[in-house]
Amino acid sequence: MKKIIGFVVLLGLFAAQSFAGEQYSLQTAKEQVVNENIKVSIAYEQYVLVKSQARTKSLQLLPTLSVDMLIYDYQYAILRTLVPEPSRFFEAAAQKDLAQAANVNRRIVQKNLLEDLENTMFLFQYHNEMLESFKKEQAITNEIAARSQEAYDLGAIDFSEYYRTQRNVVSSKTQSVNGNELVKTEEFALKLILQVKDNQEALGIDQLEFYNEGLDFPATAEEATTIAVNNSKEVEQFDWMISAANKQKKGVALSWISWGGVGFDYFSRVSIAKHEVNKIELMKKKAIYEIKNQVVAQYSQIESQKQKIAYQAQLLDMAREEYAQAQAAQTDLLNSFIATKKAELNVMYAEREASKLKYELELKYIKLKRLIGANMITNEIPRS
């Protein structure tokens, strides 16, 4: 009999594990994104492709065997084979720089995905907490509505007051439905980032702690902007692209030294190459301005958010004091009961706002972490 019971217990545990969804901590989720997300894979394949093209350009500089050697003046053919056109050297060098730019882009894709992942995981947790709060609010509004129904049936209150309590019940139910939709949307977003194959399984997320505020961020926005620009992968990518464009420009400028001669479009091609360099340099400047502005704005918003949190803490204390007084003064009368329950709801609303502000602060620090060029896996903040 004991063997049978033991077998049933093991079978139950196995079934529970089979139907349970995957469980992720923040760290394991980050590792899965880096290793399995399809956007990262596409960016890597693009890097491999450009790198292969660079290798092809380099190999094209080597001598080649041509039928021209057998048909035309072999001395001319051999010389043409052994001495590539100067522009081809610059094209090969430019392609290597483009490969480096593609590699940096791969890192950019990773950083963006990791930022989205962390944001979504915190929002997922926040809205799950709000769902619990909505359930409590719904229970309180149901209590008030039930007592109001009794009072209305006895003629103690008029229809408008009774109607208001019933409307609050419906509103709280609608609020729960909307909150549940948000949670589902964020869950599907997480599954997409994590590349979870079965969208029907529940997604388990370990409890997240607020930690980003405690990272070693620069003390001032001025220091942070310098660090952000120095460590920006977007700026680094533009540097490689500018280097490649300059080499292509030199190649075009020397294209008149060619075995095939120079065409009438020579000066137009030189002009186009120059403008391409100017365009990328302007794009780099724009990226630097945007990074600096965003970092300064983020520091300002973080400071404002901390002030909001401090003020909301005061409001929460007031709401709790009001609720305590309402409980102490409560009687069996309906008005006293409703006043106490409203005071309880006010505490709940104040707690929600305090929680929302704290989550918003964490999201601002996550954005700052990304802007400043931190390692999004280890959370290491660069110092220079």
Q: Which H or E run contains 28? A: helix 26-36
- In whole numbers, what is the pLDDT of the chain averaged over residues? 85
Mean pLDDT value across residues 166-185? 93
Residue 366 has pLDDT above 90, yes or no: yes
Mean pLDDT value across residues 361-374? 97
Beta bridge partners of 23: 204
Mean pLDDT value across residues 279-290? 97
Buried b / exposed e across 99-123, counting CB within 10 Å, b at 16+? bbbbbbbbbebbbebbbbbbbbbbb
Please report how the helices 26-36 and 38-59 are oriented relative to each other, as an axis angle in degrees rounded to 10.
40
Per-residue CA distances from 238 to 92, 104, 206, 285 (Å) = 18, 10, 38, 9
DSSP 259: T
323-364 tens-digit pLDDT = 999 999 888 788 888 889 999 999 999 999 999 999 999 999
248-283 tens-digit pLDDT = 888 877 765 554 555 666 778 888 889 999 999 999
Taking 3-state DSSP, the helix, strand and coil percentages for the chain, each rounded to the nearest 5, stand at: 80, 0, 20
Percent with pLDDT over 70 in the chain: 82
116-142 tens-digit pLDDT = 999 999 999 999 999 999 999 999 999
Question: Which pTM does this prediction carry?
Answer: 0.83
Contact 249, 273 (CB under 8 A): yes
